[in-house]
Structure 1
Amino acid sequence: MLSRTEHRGVCRLISSVMSGTESHTDREEDYRFLHSMLMEKKLHLLFKIHERLRRFEKRGPVPVQDHAAGLASDLAEELICQCGRDRVKELAALLSKPNFKSLLSVHDAVAQRDFEPSLPPLSDDSLEDDQDSVKIVSLVKTKDPLGATIRRDRATGAIVVARIMRGGAADKSGLIHEGDELKEVNGVSLEHMKPKEILPLLTGSQGEVTFKIVPASTTEEMSSNKKLFMRALFDYDPNDDPAVPCKDAAVAFKRGDVLRVVSMEDDTWWQACRLGDGSTRAGLIPSQQLHERSRVALQRPKRILGPSLSFPAGLRRSFRLGRKSGRDGEAARSKRWSAGLHPRSSIRPPTYKEVIPYHRDPKDRHRLVVLVGPGGVGVDELKRRLLISDPDLFGVTVPYTTRERSRLETEGVDYHFVSVHMFEEDILNHRFVEYGRYKGHYYGTSLDSVHRVMAEGKVCLLDVHPNKIKHVYTSEFKPYVVFVRPPSIEELRITRRRAKFLSDEEDENSARIFTEEDFEDMINSAETIESQCGHLFDKEIVNGDVAVAFRELKVDLENLKEAKVQWIPAKWICSLPTNAQRSVGHSGGWI
């Protein structure tokens, strides 16, 4: 504290400093600034505040009472008996107010210094060797699992946390990590217990679950901020998978579902959430490596179609949907130039495809719709029905050819008739989606014809051979690929037995009935197409009843047109990310 003498000394010191600044004319501006600062009223007020604080500190105030709340309660009881006067009633009401009682309670807590934190003494059994890093974690238990799997370490016999599911209670707490050793659950020692014996301790807990944990020596943080979306290209039900570590911790999904992958650190089991089910808690899904490695052996061999540029009957009937397609057998035959899918050295089952959300602007062109399927499955009929149902929305390309125009044909309507030189020049410039020769003449679907339909603001319906999808599978066209699959062979026998299709004979009115061999070829071709091109498909439709298949396809394309968010391959926009470092873990229980 500054005494009066000290305070006057400070003032004299300031005065001497101020007078000393007046003699320094060489730096007059700086000293004038210092002089003005020392003359500030605020500076002198600070000295006065400092003096008052020092006086208060020297007095060392102590509370007059440390049980004011009790005294007020006693006084209120006495006043109740003397309620005659208004002032007494007012005082009694004041003492009974909750705010006043809380104020006195806080006063007593401060007076009694009851606000100091205190920790309960540790029990002797918690002071074991190597237990200086033990921590106690309490999690609030809800109807949902805590979101972790446990396993027994084969080397040490300890119960450790195998996985933390993203979005679960354990993950949100940030207090439990993979590799942590569990010592106790709700005070019960886990020593010599198996994972399946621990689960009843958790399921029977109410309110809170308390863990005694030895933290892992090192903890690898997994990135949960990056948004990585995968479209599933196969159906998965954990109840049918004997290899899943824990069925309750796994996520079931269907082909076409979009999954948000939050962890790829495990080589065999990723963690993901299925979009659309309303849950933010992640679960286990088989990794791409696991699916390709363990399921490929289960896929039965497929019959491979013939070599390219052969023309097996019934593979693909029509080159395009022209106004005279029923009359012109040549147009129907010319479509069959590229026949086969080329066998690969090894066929891998489809797994996942990375996708990203695409928000289509109303001013943007519609996505190209590509229809693929084996010969005889009815791709042309579905395309024809779509075109008739809404010609203002759907459109088809006009093919190019080098043959002479007939008297009944119209340029740009039936075909674009071009010279051999121009056609071959476009081939060299990669301007054709697909092309071939028939009876010495070229026929082909040009990229220019696709652009023309899309420029009209229509949905371009393109029927191409599966191995030609790659020519339009770009960010420019953003194709929506629909695979038309045949039904079972039993249903084919019922629905196709009396169906007819144009033959390769010159007589355009000749037709033949589907044979048993045709059915087998159709199914085998569909399996081959799916095994080699399934990763490109956005939609799959089974064409048993053509009317039902058409309605399903039309509704799907209309929903696509109106959808605010669509999912497209990530490679159309950005490069694929590098997978994070992975570590293997095997769980023994789901908590």
Structure 2
Amino acid sequence: SPPAPPAMQQVLDNLMGLPGSPGVADLDLIFLRGIMESPIVRSLAKAHERLEERKLEAVRGDNLTLVQEILRDIGRLARPDGQGAAAELARILREPHFQSLLETHDSVAAKSYDPPVSPGPEPPLASQPVPPDAVRMVGIRKAAGENLGVTFRVERGELVIARILHGGMVAQQGLLHVGDVIREVNGREVGSDPRALQDSLRHASGSVVLKILPSYPERHPPRQVFVKCHFDYDPSTDSLIPCKEAGLKFMAGDLLQIVNQDDPNWWQVRGTPGGVAWGGRSTFIPTWGSPQQQGALCGSLSGRRKKRMMYLTTKNAEFDRHELLIYEEVARMPPFRRKTLVLIGAQGVGRRSLKNKLIMSDQSRYGTTIPYTSRKPKESERDGQGYRFVSRGEMEADIKAGRYLEHGEYEGNLYGTRIDSIHAVVEAGKMCILDVNPQAVKVLRTAEFVPYVVFIEAPCPETLRAMNRAALESGVATKQLTEADAQRTVEESSRIQRGYGHYFDLSLTNDDLERTFGRLREAMDHLRVQPQWVPVTWVY
């Protein structure tokens, strides 16, 4: 006979010591031992042991965070020349394939599986003609004070369901639909007052039976839409929202999932992971921005037909004309390498120093363009070392043909950045770092350049002057910054933030160069290990 499993063998061993014990019949022990020693029972126990599920649990589920901590520790051990075991280990840990492996492990450990899409039940009698007076009885169980997540309106003297809040009780049960006519509640006619019906349903408890005239709407599979907000909104200050408690307060830069767009004026949304107010219950946002923006729009478009649309990169010219930035549709992407890093900021705020420090920290990963100029080279200058020298006629022709990202004139000579020089750095396998004027971001923010835009914000004037004095003492700077210069820099920084803030992926206040550089480098490392939200036009 097959050997007994360990647990079964332990029971048999215990049975051997039971004979003679008080209250135990020897005949019963012999009978029980005979059953357990039967080959059939042993085989069944062995099969059960084989078939029993053994759960595998991950040791930890935050390995991406652990790797970031290891990289920070390695950074203190790495040699300046980028050689040695520490630098090699850092390169391995930063490899995209290794990072993807860790991300997959963490997702499996956290059981972050998308639930299977359920088609849902078909509407009753959807394929059959419905008599105009056909009614249904719908039963709902609720506690007193519990909100059903539904609003009503008066239509032809009857109370009709106007809106169903996504994630609410009614939406989860799927028994009621927008357009259904409410005839009775618990056998009583509802009348024609929406507020009275709301109060009646809110205070009802236990079983609530509704007599309805169904609308049987056509069902469409929902499309997932995510947007990035470009303005601040507080429903408590909005006089146009039907229910302030149902509105969602958010800030510029927050990410929202739109779950219902049926209403032309109010979208139902939920916050996204890493965004705001993540939860099952949906809330409302206006389709046309804050109350102030709505007023500005009504004033500028009075007498004209309003056109509602999301902010798309490909249509930014239309929004630039109206200066009205609302929502931008975005998509969630797995970690990937951006083609360009764009540093935006006021003049003298430290963009060039940060660019040079980042390139010197890892020349195999970062690069930059060589500017073109129409001036004559000096005796000590060579083409391609500091500048690319071309004739003025050639440069003017290329500018006219749109081959330059930006250009300007200084002391009678043209200077500029050619677009193909950006592509050359990217094709060499490096991220191209650019410190450009804010206007250039409109050209760069496309799938062609896939930029990560970082705004270097100026600190207060006193800190600016203190940093300037330190730079003068170390020989890095040669010009002393006056109080007026520092104030102008701060004001210019504020103007850039107001006018181009919706383009920024990250804002850093440069009140300490080393600390700002550390935060910038950490952000670059996070891009390779964390999912990213990008304009949907980059994906489709």
TM-score by length of 1: 0.56
State the 1:266 CA deviation: 1.9
2: CA distance, partners of 1:140 / 1:552: 53
Deviations 1:60-83 (A, max 9, x none): xxxxxxxxxxxxxxxxxxxxxxxx
Q: Which amino acid aligns with 1:228?
A: V
Structure 2 unaligned segments of length 5 or more: list them.
Answer: 1-130, 300-316
SS of the aligned residue for 2:481 comes to strand
Aligned length: 384
Instruction: Map residues 399-478 of structure 1 onto 2, 5 A cutoff.
Output: 399-478=371-450
Instruction: Give the letter aligned to residue 524 of structure 2.
Output: L
Q: Which runs of 5+ in 1 are unaligned?
A: 1-129, 300-341, 575-591
- Provide the secondary structure at the position in 2 that maps to 1:406: coil
Cα 1:189/1:254, change in 2 over 3 Å: same
Query: What is the alpha-carbon distance in structure 1 between the residues aligned to residue 338 and residue 326 of structure 2?
Result: 28
- Structure 1 270/150 Cα, relative in aligned 2: closer, same or farther at 3 Å? same
CA distance in 1, matches of 2:496, 2:525: 26
SS at match of 1:512: coil
* Residue pair 2:238, 2:291 contacting (<8 A) in 1 also: no
Deviation at 1:470, TM superposition (A): 3.0
Q: How far 1:388 sits from its partner (Å)?
A: 4.2
Which residue in the other structure is 1:274 paired with? Answer: 271
Structure 1 position 283 matched with structure 2 position 258: no
SS at match of 1:496: helix
Match of 2:150?
149
Compute the displacement of 1:138 (Å). Answer: 2.4
Over the residues paired in the alignment, what is the CA RMSD in angstroms?
4.0
The secondary structure found in structure 1 opposite 2:446 is: coil
2:468 alignment partner in structure 1: 500
After superposition, residues 518-529 of structure 1 pair within 5 angstroms as: 518-519=486-487, 522-523=490-491, 525-526=492-493, 528-529=495-496
- Of stretches 396-405 and 247-256 in structure 1, the one that deviates more from structure 2 is 247-256
Instruction: Tell me how far apart the structure 2 counterparts of residues 263 and 226 of structure 1 sit (CA, whole Å).
Output: 9
Between 1:553-562 and 1:134-143, the stretch displaced more is 134-143
State the distance in 1 between where 2:376 and 2:320 align: 42
Partner of 2:326: 351
Relative contact order: is structure 1 or structure 2 higher (C-alpha 8 Å, sep ≥ 6)?
Answer: 1
Q: What does 1:195-214 correspond to in 2, within 5 Å?
A: 195=195, 198-199=198-199, 201-202=201-202, 205-206=205-206, 209-214=208-213
**Offset from partner CA, 1:495-532 (integer Å, 9 cap, x none):** 224343999xxxx83323232x7536643x44544454
d(CA) in 1 for partners of 2:230 and 2:458? Answer: 18
Which of 506, 510, 532 is residue 566 of structure 1 equivalent to?
532
Whether the 8 Å CA contact 1:186–1:209 is kept in 2: the answer is yes
SS of residue paired to 1:562: coil
Give per-residue Cα distances to partners, 1:282-327, cap 9 Å, x unaligned.
321111366674264899xxxxxxxxxxxxxxxxxxxxxxxxxxxx
SS in 2 for 1:234: coil
Residues 189 and 484 of structure 1, relative CA distance in 2, 3 Å threshold? farther
Q: Partner letter of residue 570 of structure 1?
A: V
C-alpha distance 379-185 of structure 1, shift in aligned 2 (>3 A)? farther
Q: What is the rounded CA distance, in whole Å, between the counterparts of 1:137 and 1:407 in structure 2?
A: 90
Aligned to 1:556: 523
Give, as a single letter, the amino acid of the residue that structure 2 aligns with 1:496.
L
1:58-73 mapped onto 2 (5 Å cutoff): none
Partner residue of 1:265 out of 262, 266, 275: 262
Would you say the 8 A contact 2:179–2:214 is kept in 1? Answer: yes
Q: Aligned partners of 1:191 and 1:178: how far apart in 2?
A: 19
Q: What is the aligned counterpart of 2:480 among 502, 511, 531?
A: 511
1:105-504 alignment to 2 at 5 Å?
132-139=133-140, 141=142, 148-153=149-154, 156=157, 158-186=158-186, 190-191=190-191, 195=195, 198-199=198-199, 201-202=201-202, 205-206=205-206, 209-216=208-215, 221=218, 223=220, 225-276=222-273, 279-288=279-288, 293-294=293-294, 296=296, 348-359=323-334, 366-486=338-458, 492-500=460-468
After superposition, the C-alpha distances for 1:555-588 in whole angstroms (9 at most, x for unaligned) are 322212223x3232223344xxxxxxxxxxxxxx
Counterparts in 2 of 1:520 and 1:416: CA distance versus 1, 3 Å: closer
Tell me if 1:540 matches 2:507. yes
| Cα distance in 2, alignment partners of residues 538 and 143 from structure 1 | 46
Could you tell me how far 1:433 is from its partner in structure 2? 0.8
Identity over aligned pairs, percent: 33
| Alpha-carbon contact 1:370-1:464 (below 8 Å) kept | yes
**Does the 8 A contact of 1:366 with 1:458 survive in 2?**
no
Contact 1:499 1:514 in 2 (8 A): no
Q: Deviations over 1:21-78 (max 9, x none)?
A: xxxxxxxxxxxxxxxxxxxxxxxxxxxxxxxxxxxxxxxxxxxxxxxxxxxxxxxxxx
In the alignment, the residues of structure 2 paired with residue 520 and residue 440 of structure 1 have an alpha-carbon distance, to the nearest angstrom, of 26
- Matched residues in 1 for 2:176 and 2:503: separation? 40
The whole-number CA distance in structure 2 between the counterparts of 1:179 and 1:442 is 65
Give the drift of 1:436.
1.4
